[in-house]
Amino acid sequence: MGLAAHNIGKYKLGRTIGEGTFAKVKLGVDSTNGQYVAIKIIDKHMVLESNLKYQVQREIRTMKLLHHPNIVRIHEVIGSKTKIYIVMEHVSGGQLTDKMSYVKKLEEWEARKLFQQLIDAVDYCHNKGVCHRDLKPENLLMDHKGNLKVSDFGLSALQKPGGILTTACGSPCYVAPELLLNKGYNGAAADVWSCGVILFEVLAGRLPFDDRNLINLYKKISRAEYTFPLWFTKGQKKLLYRIFDPNPRTRITIPEIIEDEWFQKDYVPACGYEIDDKIHLDDVNAAFDSIEEIATETKIPKSSSFINAFQLIAMSQDLDLSGLFEEQASLKIRMLDENKQKKMLGSKHTIDETIKKIEAAAMDASLSVERMNNSKMKMHTKQKMTRCCRSCLDISAEVIEVAPTNCVIEISKSAGELKVYKEFCKSLSSLLIEKSELPSQTEEPEEANVDTKNIQDIGSSEEKNYKENKDP
């Protein structure tokens, strides 16, 4: 196994079997019984810097709550001064993506078996009130017998009966259309959509919704624009058609999927285990005890405004999905004040530098600046000592941080002369081209067409936004 020289508790650490941005997974052996385990090692400093403490705690609590043959089990959590070690069940077959990389597509019987096990696991999660929200082949593991195991509950959420979720998260090609609306959604219905994408992918050897441009990709998802390969059977098409319903209210549910004729063939249900709802979290809390001490040493400045890829896409005027779910929504969205002007600019500077440039542009246009908060401000015409009433001008600018040295500036005018508004925008565009205080930031800004491919999808808890990580 290539064991390392040190142990963690009763576990001997071996080779690295997976690695992501914020963690790595090593193979381990329980010295008391010789059983193989997978040990996920998370750096506490990285957790703090990326505001991921809540996400890690939630993933551990969720995995402890679930006990099902098709869900990866968690054994215990061990904490050191700088690391968190999550000891999990070892699944020897690797990710489903590894299998798909050399077989391209699965035979119908094998695809059906994996889909049946996936639906059983997701149904068990939903009955426990857990919505996964990031179902994709990378998070589906295979054991030595070819059975499926669902893993990575870092973006999961507990949803009460009749409740809704609000955080848009997940992976672009697998996300349900309702998540793009920046409104509440049903986590269970969103998971069903993702399961359908996985089924299509293993049967077809390709994704149903795919495009290099995120705007075009989300348009395809919102309209359910896809084509079946020639070899798809009538039963497969019928089931997938009901899953890929853009309206979550009429989309097929998991109980209905289980009753489907194609799904029922050779179906052997897998039952989850009833466990004590009072999950012991002593090891979890102990693992995070010293993290507060680290926090006092490493003060992380919090951004006043941050944006994830879903919010960035929702800002596009070309992508309005509301009409899929709301009556007369197009009338509500399109009826804009004729005087209102909007513009978006890209900035290759830090958020503080960008705000300074906005203030400088306002000064060039003889405007006074009123700071609303750390990222939003309003501009007005400077009061002049004359008997004539000045024209009312109302321009607002909001800076949204996409990355430490990339921002989006949203400028809008609700009243006043268009000439002054254009003068301000022109001045700001020129200032944004100028070199930043940092030597590496010399590129020109772009209007509206921000390259979202270079922006990481940012997951988020229901309390916070945080960057999505590709943990193994």
Residue 326 confidence (pLDDT): 47
Active-site choice (120, 123, 134, 471): 134
pLDDT confidence tier of residue 458, bands split at 50, 70 and 90 = very low
- Statement: residue 178 has pLDDT above 70: yes
CB 154 within 8 A of CB 134: yes
- Statement: residue 258 has pLDDT above 90: yes
Give the helix/strand (H/E) hosting 88: strand 83-89
Residue 334 confidence (pLDDT): 39
**pLDDT tens digits for 379-396?**
877 654 444 444 467 788
**pLDDT tens digits for 199-244?**
999 999 999 999 988 889 999 999 999 999 999 999 999 999 999 9
**Alpha carbons 250 and 152: distance in angstroms, whole number:** 28
Least confident among 156-165, 244-253, 262-271, 438-447? 438-447
Average pLDDT of span 171-180: 92
Cβ neighbours around 99 below 10 Å, total: 19
Least confident among 47-51, 113-117, 183-187, 281-285? 281-285
Residue 416 confidence (pLDDT): 67
Helices within 82-146 (DSSP H only): 96-103, 108-127
Residue 306 confidence (pLDDT): 54
User: Of 102, 98, 105, whose CA–CA distance to 229 is shortest?
Assistant: 105
- Statement: residue 312 has pLDDT above 50: yes
Residue 108 confidence (pLDDT): 95
CB 115 within 8 A of CB 263: yes
Burial (0-12, 13-18, 19+ Cβ within 10 Å), 43:
middle
In order of their start, the domains of the chain are 7-90+283-297 (3.30.200.20), 96-264 (1.10.510.10), 309-454 (3.30.310.80)
Burial (0-12, 13-18, 19+ Cβ within 10 Å), 273:
exposed
Residue 286 confidence (pLDDT): 61
Cβ neighbours around 445 below 10 Å, total: 21
pLDDT confidence tier of residue 299, bands split at 50, 70 and 90 = very low
Give the helix/strand (H/E) hosting 311: helix 309-314
Rounded to 5°, angle at Cα 150 from 269 and 271: 25
For the question of whether the overall pTM of this predicted structure is more than 0.85, the answer is no
Give residue 246's identity as a one-letter amino acid code: P
Q: Is 234 assigned a ligand-binding role in the annotation?
A: no
Residue 471 confidence (pLDDT): 43
- Fill in the DSSP letter of residue 258: H
Rounded to 5°, angle at Cα 90 from 84 and 95: 100
Q: Which long-range CB contacts under 8 A does 210-218 form with residues at least 24 apart?
A: 210/173, 212/453, 214/172, 214/309, 214/313, 214/452, 214/453, 215/313, 215/316, 215/318, 215/319, 217/172, 217/173, 218/172, 218/177, 218/180, 218/313, 218/319, 218/321
**pLDDT tens digits for 338-353?**
445 778 888 888 888 8
Residue 410 confidence (pLDDT): 85
Share of the chain above pLDDT 70, in %: 73
Instruction: Tell me how far apart the 2 most distant CA atoms of the chain are, in Å.
Output: 91
Please confirm, yes or no, whether 211 is among the known catalytic residues: no
pLDDT confidence tier of residue 316, bands split at 50, 70 and 90 = low
Question: Tokens 């999505």 correspond to what residue?
Answer: 468
